[in-house]
Amino acid sequence: MKPESGQALFHVALVSCLCAATVHTGVFAGVSVQVGYEHYAEAPVASLPAFLAMPFNSLVNVAYVLLGMYWLQSKASAPGGPTEARKACYLKDVFAGMALVYGPVQWLRIAMQTRPTAVLDQWLTLPIFAWPVAWCLCLDGGWKPWRLLAVEGLSLCSYSLALLHPCGFEVALGVHVAAAVGQALRTQGRHGSASSGTYLALGVLSCLGFVVLKLCDHELSQWHLFQRLTGHFWSRVCDVLQFHFAFLFMTNLNTCRRRPPAEKVR
């Protein structure tokens, strides 16, 4: 494993562990979360163990791990030589590490149906949406580690909105989604190509599917198509797809963008 890949995975693991430890202190005990099988359209199967009680909503989380492994082993490239390639690799592998962590966390929430796992699932969603913003800022303004830290730190702190209002998490998530799409459009306008534009459009469509299908889980279960594979299941599929298209979009921009004038070879 490359040093930058190991560093990226270490940073993701460290932050994830700190978040888990913080959740278990009870500081977010007042956050409104949904706990219980009644919040899902998929009926639990009593004969199966808890980690497979809702088999489809459980097993779909393997896709996050497979996606993370795929992108972790993929090669990063960027104009500017080995140094720029290492930076691109770090950015890519942090995102891949987030996918590797999020799959098991989401599965734990489905299996355990406890407040701490639900809170952790919500909280870790925010920095995932914030990372494309940070990645785009690196493409636009160059490599500035403090900016990566600031974006992710602000994202993590924004979960405190969930303590102030029952819909605080939804507000924070909406801001994250809007920021990610807005920054991606800005970066696409500066550095993008037809291919990256296609990936961006598919990513936005997947994001819409992720949100709408999850919100309409019970309503969609009235339709035969969504009775076994429910809206929540398909929202997870859309989530994995938006992850994948975000990877394709960002790595395509990494490859195609021009170096800033100061970095050009004289």
Q: What percent of the chain has pLDDT over 70?
A: 96
Q: Read off the pTM.
A: 0.92
CA angle at 12 for the pair 10 and 15, rounded to the nearest 5°: 105
- What is the rounded distance in angstroms from the CA atom of residue 177 to the CA atom of residue 133? 10
Q: What percent of the chain has pLDDT over 90?
A: 81
Tokens of 5: 């890949």
- What is the rounded distance in angstroms from the CA atom of residue 150 to the CA atom of residue 146? 6
Helix (H, G, I), strand (E, B) or coil at 34: coil
Q: pLDDT at position 263, please?
A: 41
Percent helix, percent strand, percent coil in the chain, to nearest 5: 75, 0, 25
- What is the rounded distance in angstroms from the CA atom of residue 211 to the CA atom of residue 232? 10
Delimit the domains of the chain by residue range: 3-29+48-257
Could you give the C-alpha distances from 53 to 12, 47, 59, in angstroms and in order? 29, 8, 10
CA atoms within 13 A on the CB side of 257: 29
Helix axes 3-24, 115-141, angle to 10 degrees: 140
pLDDT tens, residue by residue, 232-249: 999 999 999 999 999 999
Quick check: 124 pLDDT over 80? yes
pLDDT tens, residue by residue, 57-115: 999 999 999 999 999 999 877 777 788 889 999 999 999 999 999 999 999 999 999 99
> What mean pLDDT is predicted for residues 134-140?
92
Per the model's pLDDT, the better-predicted residue between 1 and 143 turns out to be 143
Per the model's pLDDT, the better-predicted residue between 54 and 81 turns out to be 54
pLDDT tens, residue by residue, 185-212: 999 998 889 999 999 999 999 999 999 9
> What mean pLDDT is predicted for residues 14-23?
97
Q: pLDDT at position 266, please?
A: 33
Residue 18's Cα: distance from chain center in Å?
Answer: 18
Q: pLDDT at position 265, please?
A: 32
Count Cβ atoms within 10 A of the Cβ of residue 42 and give its class: 0-12 exposed, 13-18 middle, 19 or more buried: buried
CA angle at 5 for the pair 194 and 199, rounded to the nearest 5°: 15
Contact 41, 230 (CB under 8 A): yes
Q: What is the CATH number of domain 3-29+48-257?
A: 1.20.1070
Share the mean pLDDT of the chain. Answer: 92
Q: pLDDT at position 256, please?
A: 67
